[in-house]
Amino acid sequence: MDIHIEPSVWYTIPVFGGIPVTDAVFVTWLVMAILIVFGLVVRFVLLPKFEDLPKGFQNILELFVEWIYHFCEDTMHERGRGIAPYIGTIALYLALANTIELIGLRPPTTNLGVTFALAIMTFILINYYGIRKKGVLGRLKDFTKPVAIMAPIKFFSELAIPVSMASRLFGNILGGLVVMEIIYKVVPVAVPAALAIYFNLFDGLMQTFIFITLTLSFIGDALE
């Protein structure tokens, strides 16, 4: 069985002794191209034709945008509208990146570097919102909130937040990839199409929902 778990290097930039460029970068470029072309087409071709009473494709777009705003305001109460574009972007990128195995490419989120980068962005946002609202000392005093003795435990659990988010996304998508590869080797004909609906589509969308829910929850916690 030649299932390779580690990312495969496609190209090496010949600078500073060779920087390896993995397949995750190229698939991310493809996802970016799809999203940018979609955005440009909607903005310049479809938007002038929008009417006040939406129907058809405009209905779906408005449903998605309203759902993102509603979801952010539910979880973060007052700053929800400010962070909704970032959450929408992350949701679109993750929804496309996790399910791109249906086309046959290896999802970029099976690379621990990609998921760790997204988790570090969440970590930076948590601290940015916390420090902007309460100042650095106020944020540090948050660690002694219920009982002062729990401060080291709370500090380490704050550091564990990006690690756990990265590992959760990486492990789920890689688990789906490994199981689907084994099924392709065993029964190549009709069974993978049925099982891919659960392992690639449902699992990928579920993981994006979990990621954005956790991001909003942690930012909302830091603002209390």
Partner 1 sequence: MDGAGLAAIGAGLAVITGLGAGIGMGIATSKAVEAVGRQPEATNQINRILLLGLALTESVAIYGFVIALLILFTR
Can you give the binding site for partner 1, defined by CB under 8 A? Answer: 5-6, 164, 167-168, 170-172, 174-175, 206-207, 210, 213-214
Smallest separation, CB 130 to partner 1 (Å): 22
Q: What is the DSSP string of 121-162?
A: HHHHHHHHHHHHHHHHHHHHHGGGSS-GGGHHHHHHHHHHHH
Collapsing DSSP states into helix, strand and coil, what is residue 77?
coil
Considering the complex, state which of residue 22 and residue 172 has its C-beta at the smaller distance from partner 1. 172
Nearer to partner 1, 59 or 213 (CB): 213
Q: Distance (Å, rounded) from C-alpha 168 to C-alpha 175?
A: 10
**Cβ neighbours of residue 109 closer than 8 Å, sequence gap 6 or more:** 94, 97, 98, 115, 169, 170, 173
d(CA 104, CA 27): 11
**Which is nearest to 217 in space by CA: 112, 67, 71, 65?**
71
Q: Given the complex with partner 1, which of 4 and 49 has the nearer CB atom?
A: 4
Structure letter (DSSP) for residue 173: H
Q: Least separation, in Å, of the C-beta of 190 and partner 1?
A: 28
Return the axis-axis angle of helices 151-186 and 112-141, rounded to nearest 10°. Answer: 160
Q: How far is the CB of 84 from partner 1 (least distance, A)?
A: 19
Minimum distance from residue 210 beta carbon to partner 1 (Å): 5
Minimum CB separation of residue 160 from partner 1 in Å reads 11
- 139 versus 219: smaller Cβ distance to partner 1: 219
Comparing CB distances to partner 1, the nearer of 5 and 103 is 5
